[in-house]
């Protein structure tokens, strides 16, 4: 097997592993796939984010179809989230176009936001139950108009964060929805979050495409692995201890965030290696 084919095969394997973990934990693939593309394959952070956004749009469309057929989507909440997220996604992409997103400045900016998003995701994974137990009753008892306004605000925050880092639509979005809508069953919350992630990641992915930060070859190899991985993970999810998986995943995200932050703040006198593009 040639070096090029080996790298292509590794993309597919990573797609399968990430799809499997997403199916098991329900966490968005961005928090897993984007760091892998950056740290393991040396892909530029902007290209990793843009490619993963299109990858997420494709995979979550399939998930939305399943949830829609099962009636586990609250379209009212999806509309509220999208009312905030889609405009902020467009604004964020427009702002990023003023930055050399594919250059050194863009690398540092995306890495910084990605590191922060990974830490927040890890906290949401580990402490979700405690956060919900403490604040859900208080937030869920708000006036309906206030809950609607907060949902739009959360959508806007997610739109900005996902557009820059591809992270946030999974663990963070689900935690926020549980807090705002404690009476909605968890399965419906998850389905609603996945349905909202489809237009969000699609608009953000198209925006990155226009910015030139998409690698369609990597996208295709990721899809080859992620689709069977998600199907297998979803099937096995009910047979695995969710809490333990969340903790393990959170630890992995903290390790990845630490690795990314080391790249942002190299030690004095250290030599920063220039990454060369990986053939694909």
DSSP code string of 210-235:
HHT---HHHHHHHHHHHHHHHHHHHH
Does the pLDDT value for residue 153 go beyond 90?
yes
- Which pLDDT score is estimated for 275? 45
| 114-123, 137-146, 229-238, 269-278: least confidently modelled range | 269-278
Mean pLDDT of 144-163: 94
Does the pLDDT value for residue 213 go beyond 90?
no
Confidence at 280, pLDDT banded by 50, 70, 90? very low
The percent of residues above 90 in pLDDT, for the chain, comes to 28
Mean pLDDT of 18-44: 78
Measured in whole angstroms, the distance separating CA 82 from the mean position of its chain's CA atoms is: 16
Contact call for residues 164 and 113 (beta carbons, < 8 A): yes
| 152-166, 204-218, 247-261: least confidently modelled range | 247-261
Does the pLDDT value for residue 203 go beyond 90?
yes
Does the pLDDT value for residue 240 go beyond 70?
no
- Is the Cα torsion angle 40, 16, 161, 258 positive or negative in sign? negative
């Amino acid at each position: 097997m040639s070096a090029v084919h080996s790298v292509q095969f590794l993309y597919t394997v990573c797609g399968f592993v990430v799809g499997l973990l997403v199916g098991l934990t329900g966490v968005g693939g961005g928090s897993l796939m984007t760091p892998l593309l950056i740290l393991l394959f040396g892909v530029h952070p902007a290209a990793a984010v843009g490619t993963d956004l299109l990858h997420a749009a494709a995979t979550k469309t399939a998930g939305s179809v399943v949830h829609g057929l099962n009636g586990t989507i609250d379209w009212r909440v999806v509309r509220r989230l999208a009312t905030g997220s889609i405009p902020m996604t467009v604004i964020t992409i427009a702002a990023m176009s003023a930055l050399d997103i594919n250059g050194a400045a863009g690398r540092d900016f995306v890495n910084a936001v990605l590191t922060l998003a990974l830490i927040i995701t890890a906290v949401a994974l580990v402490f979700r139950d405690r956060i919900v137990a403490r604040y859900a009753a208080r937030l869920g008892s708000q006036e309906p108009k206030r809950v609607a306004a907060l949902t739009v605000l959360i959508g806007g925050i997610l739109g900005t964060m996902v557009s820059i880092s591809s992270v946030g639509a999974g663990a963070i979005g689900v935690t926020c929805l549980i807090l705002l809508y404690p009476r909605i069953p968890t399965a419906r919350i998850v389905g609603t979050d996945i349905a909202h992630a489809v237009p969000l990641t699609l608009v953000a992915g198209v925006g990155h495409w226009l910015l030139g930060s998409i690698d369609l070859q990597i996208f295709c190899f990721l899809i080859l692995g992620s689709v069977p991985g998600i199907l297998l993970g979803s099937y096995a999810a009910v047979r695995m201890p969710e809490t333990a998986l969340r903790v393990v995943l959170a630890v992995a995200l903290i390790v990845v965030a630490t690795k990314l932050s080391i790249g942002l703040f190299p030690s004095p006198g250290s030599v920063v290696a220039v990454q060369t593009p990986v053939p694909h």
